[in-house]
Structure 1
Amino acid sequence: MKYVIGVDLGTSAVKVLLLSQEGQVCGEVSASYPLIQEKHGYSEQSPEAWVEKTTQAMGELVRQFAGNVADIEGISFSGQMHGLVLLDRQKRVLRNAILWNDTRTSRQCQQIYERVGRERLLEIAKNPALEGFTPPKLLWVKEHEPELFRQAAWFLLPKDYLRYRMTGTIETEYSDAAGTLLLDVAEKTWSTTVCELLDLDPGLCPPLVESHQCVGTITPAFAERTGLSPATKVFAGGADNACGAIGSGILSDGKTLCSIGTSGVILSYEASKARDFQGRVHYFNHAKENAYYTMGVTLSAGHSLSWFKQVFAEQEDFDTLLSGVDQVPIGSNGLLYTPYLVGERTPHADAVIRGSFIGLDAAHRKIDFVRAVIEGITFSLCESVEIFRKSGKTIDTIISIGGGAKNRTWLQMQADIFNARIVKLASEQGPGVGAAMLAAYGCGWFSSLEECAERFIQPVATHQPIKENVERYHNLYSVYKRVYHQTREINGALSAFRG
């Protein structure tokens, strides 16, 4: 029996999965690392922490493995998007990585529009200039850390730096490159036009490869530290959402995904590079070759729940926190939550807006707040579903993965709020499974990712919308959508008081 490893480099932890040729998860290890948030709006991490924790996790996975390590044939990656890792000419890290949820770069986003033009940027990069993307970060470093920026020879995305440390080779692939605003999405090349208009050296951009491409084998040093064979092949991998799509079977038209991790996404497959959403949702290259996907994003999805737990129920695990949530009626006894903890992306590209509880009453209990949080997260994701439906897409079945797929009440809530059939998979860890599938396909086990999906992906439960619940949630959703517009000015005034 042969095996592959999928590495999912997330915002809070790295997860390492071992999958067999039959698609069975045979091992799983995770290791967490901290965020570095020195100022309001800042979000950074140490790239060295990614390497250290991944090495530890992979070593533990190998120690748990009862078979022959030579049978672990390949490794591939899923990674958090948009993060900036700067390397000098000796390939040394110049500073902490600036992450996707960092919001310090509003002024740089405006500079991008002034230099490139909004319409031209959408034509080339298919996405608007948002604080989380990579070029605003490059411009910020160039302005605020000019001596450091002059030393920069390459920028990498987070999982690409991790892979470099395992192989010694530098490259990125199209699904992650599409999240930089520097890729011509339709032509699959770095845009010299955008680089030149932003006065960024195109040489900073790493070479481009396909997600299933083998980029080498692990170094002897990494093999020694983990116990893996030095002959283990390494494949380029993909952005977390692209890998989540692969690991959930979103590989043809009509397939839609709801993924709730730190952030949350509604993702829909696109065969064409020509659709125009005018920047209302993201448009990226898929990790499947010559395919695309569109995606709406809630920045603080699972983050909202973990924040609530950390602040109000630190000693409880998530199962305990959610216990009894099914006994709270729709609408959380008149309590409404908006998940704008770090701003929002879809449908409101707003770095200033912040979250709120509306309707607080002395009779509310902690479990009412918990129900309100997960309802608010799901309402935010529903705004993306609504955009897709208004564009003419039919969304009647949605694959649900991530934290939102671990709780039956939350799955039924998704069915009722989205008014769609929700399908739960045997493994809700789509990105890690998708990364492993890219390795399996790259190793030649299957003739296509679709064939691999038939083996690796197994639906285990379905939740149908309940008519009366759909109607009640429809009424509450209309109230939810008013909160953003009626609190925007207040949040702008409060921003001056944030530490």
Structure 2
Amino acid sequence: MPYVIGIDLGTSAVKALLVDQNGVVAGEASRSYPLFHEHSGWSEQRPDDWVEATVEALKELASQGGVSAADIEGVSFSGQMHGLVLLNKEGEPVRNAILWNDTRTTAQCREIEATLGGKLLSVTRNPALEGFTLPKILWVREHEPEAFAQAAIFVLPKDYVRYRLTGELHMDYSDAAGTLLLDVAGKRWSDEVLAAFNLDAGFCPPLVESHGLVGTLLPQIAERTGLSPATKVFAGGADNACGAIGAGILSEGLTLCSIGTSGVILSYENDKTKDFAGKVHFFNHGKEDAFYAMGVTLAAGYSLSWFKKTFAPGESFDELLAGVGDVKPGSNGLLFTPYLVGERTPHADSTIRGSFIGIDGSHERKHFARAVMEGITFSLHESVDMFRQAGKSVDQIVSIGGGAQNPVWLQMQADIFGAEVVALENEQGPGLGAAMLAAYGCGWFASLDDCAASFVKHARSYKPNAEAAAVYGKLFRVYQQVYGATRGLNAELAAFRG
């Protein structure tokens, strides 16, 4: 049977999935690598650590019994977005990679806003945030001119790994969309943005579709991994785009809810003119000529982890959440906002902090636990609400991550989102999306949609309960007032934080 491999290059580790033609995961391997925080707000990694970890993971997959290297037809990638890798003329990194969660570039973001004005949103379709790539480029040019002088081209993390495996430099549209250098709707590097910051067009790598064939494995890589040098390598996509593919978010009306440490609401979009005024991200999809809108809650699953660590450190999550299903929607008048580390959507605010509102003597721990779950879901619903206000249909939401592990939370999502919520039988996230891009690229399916029909299996679905949905509709409008009511208080309290 033929196989493909999906490689998910994450922030802490790389994970590789071996997937057969029926979408069954036949094997997986992962390797971790270090993260460096030399100064407060800095977050860096060594690009060659990614390469070594990926090679080792591929070697483990190729050595698994019952699978011949000749049967592994293709490899593709999912990768952490926005990270800056600067390469010299010899294709070698000139410094460590600056990652998506690095926050040193606030001054450069203000410079981008002042320089581009309205073109920032009309061309790149996204606001200037510290996580994006262009601010990092400007920071290196300003603070490390010697390193920048050596840089001939930039790539993103997975692109560097793929380059080291194939010897070919490319970047796909879904990852390029997170650089602030791409004309997202026009699918080309923006001459206007490049000229505004005196960057040469040759500084940007050639663009390619996510399912595009970019080469085969270099002989030395094939020898080290045990794979065939004829193994086809496909471009791959940004982790969120691949996560959407792996969840089957490939047509209008479908939305993804992912609750990990942070939370993501991602909705498929085929109208490149749709304008969200920068309130949510708007990126190219891994599916050709498609897009997605995305909102982010910074402390989604983290809020629940914090609550458990603080108030139930010796208990499991099942023990912590026992009884929340017996609490009626609204947690007996208790409301939580998950702003523990600031917020992203719709409030790009690093100073705001979380709140419990409405505490009285009748509240027990189960009320607080349910309020945390509701608050996280309300925060995500702010993105759903904005999508609908912009004319998008949100009919079915595929829920993955921690929020999909608890039936009470899945029903809560359906009630708050006002949409059918579906869990997956075998959730594999961005790695499966990468494998699907390889499967499509290898010609196993006529389209990504056909691949999803075979690979993505829905489990139980949850439909809104009319009574609960009505309660949550009223409570959501109260939730939306908390940010404005507490913003000034939190700005004053910031002076007292250690």
TM-score by length of 1: 0.91
Structure 1 residues 94 and 482: CA distance shift in structure 2, 3 A: farther
Equivalent residue number for residue 9 of structure 2: 9
The answer to whether residue 430 in structure 2 is matched with residue 427 in structure 1 is no
Structure 1 residue 436, shift from structure 2 partner: 0.7
Structure 1 residue 342, shift from structure 2 partner: 3.8
Structure 1 residues 429 and 369: CA distance shift in structure 2, 3 A: farther
Equivalent residue number for residue 45 of structure 2: 45
> Quick one: distance in 1 between partners of 2:214 and 2:43?
30
Structure 1 residues 9 and 322: CA distance shift in structure 2, 3 A: farther
> Quick one: distance in 2 between partners of 1:362 and 1:58?
56
Preserved contact between residue 62 and residue 68 of structure 2 (Cα < 8 Å): no
Structure 1 residue 418, shift from structure 2 partner: 0.6
The answer to whether residue 466 in structure 2 is matched with residue 467 in structure 1 is yes
Deviations 1:326-362 (A, max 9, x none): 4555445655433334432211122333344445678
> Quick one: distance in 1 between partners of 2:296 and 2:50?
24
AA partner of residue 419 (structure 1): G
Equivalent residue number for residue 272 of structure 1: 271
Preserved contact between residue 100 and residue 133 of structure 1 (Cα < 8 Å): yes
Deviations 1:466-490 (A, max 9, x none): 2222233233323322222223223
Structure 1 residue 106, shift from structure 2 partner: 2.2
Preserved contact between residue 17 and residue 29 of structure 2 (Cα < 8 Å): yes
AA partner of residue 351 (structure 2): V
Preserved contact between residue 254 and residue 395 of structure 2 (Cα < 8 Å): no
The answer to whether residue 122 in structure 2 is matched with residue 144 in structure 1 is no
Structure 1 residues 33 and 468: CA distance shift in structure 2, 3 A: farther
Structure 1 residues 28 and 323: CA distance shift in structure 2, 3 A: farther
Equivalent residue number for residue 281 of structure 1: 280
Equivalent residue number for residue 447 of structure 1: 446
Equivalent residue number for residue 94 of structure 2: 94
Structure 1 residues 224 and 352: CA distance shift in structure 2, 3 A: farther
Q: How many pairs align?
A: 498
Q: 2:491 is paired with a residue of what secondary structure?
A: helix
Structure 1 residue 446, shift from structure 2 partner: 1.1
Structure 1 residue 208, shift from structure 2 partner: 0.8
Structure 1 residue 392, shift from structure 2 partner: 1.9
Equivalent residue number for residue 187 of structure 1: 186
Q: 1:53 is paired with a residue of what secondary structure?
A: helix
Aligned ranges 1:480-495 → 2 under 5 Å: 480-495=479-494
Preserved contact between residue 116 and residue 197 of structure 1 (Cα < 8 Å): yes
> Quick one: distance in 2 between partners of 1:240 and 1:291?
16
TM-score by length of 2: 0.91
Q: 1:268 is paired with a residue of what secondary structure?
A: strand
> Quick one: distance in 1 between partners of 2:235 and 2:42?
29
Equivalent residue number for residue 60 of structure 2: 60
The answer to whether residue 342 in structure 2 is matched with residue 376 in structure 1 is no
Structure 1 residues 319 and 27: CA distance shift in structure 2, 3 A: farther
Structure 1 residues 158 and 332: CA distance shift in structure 2, 3 A: farther
Question: Mean Cα displacement is larger for which, 348-357 or 171-180?
Answer: 348-357
Give the fraction of aligned pairs with identical amino acids, expressed as a percent: 65
Structure 1 residue 160, shift from structure 2 partner: 1.3
Structure 1 residues 120 and 395: CA distance shift in structure 2, 3 A: same
Structure 1 residue 430, shift from structure 2 partner: 3.2
AA partner of residue 29 (structure 1): A
Equivalent residue number for residue 340 of structure 1: 339
> Quick one: distance in 2 between partners of 1:58 and 1:370?
41
AA partner of residue 424 (structure 2): L
Question: Mean Cα displacement is larger for which, 321-330 or 99-108?
Answer: 321-330
Deviations 1:158-198 (A, max 9, x none): 22122223222221100110111100112211112101212
The answer to whether residue 171 in structure 2 is matched with residue 210 in structure 1 is no
AA partner of residue 375 (structure 1): E
Aligned ranges 1:1-400 → 2 under 5 Å: 1-117=1-117, 119-306=118-305, 322=321, 325-332=324-331, 335-358=334-357, 369-400=368-399
> Quick one: distance in 2 between partners of 1:450 and 1:412?
27
> Quick one: distance in 1 between partners of 2:239 and 2:89?
28
Preserved contact between residue 73 and residue 232 of structure 1 (Cα < 8 Å): yes
Q: 1:143 is paired with a residue of what secondary structure?
A: helix
AA partner of residue 167 (structure 1): T
* Unaligned ranges ≥5, structure 2: none
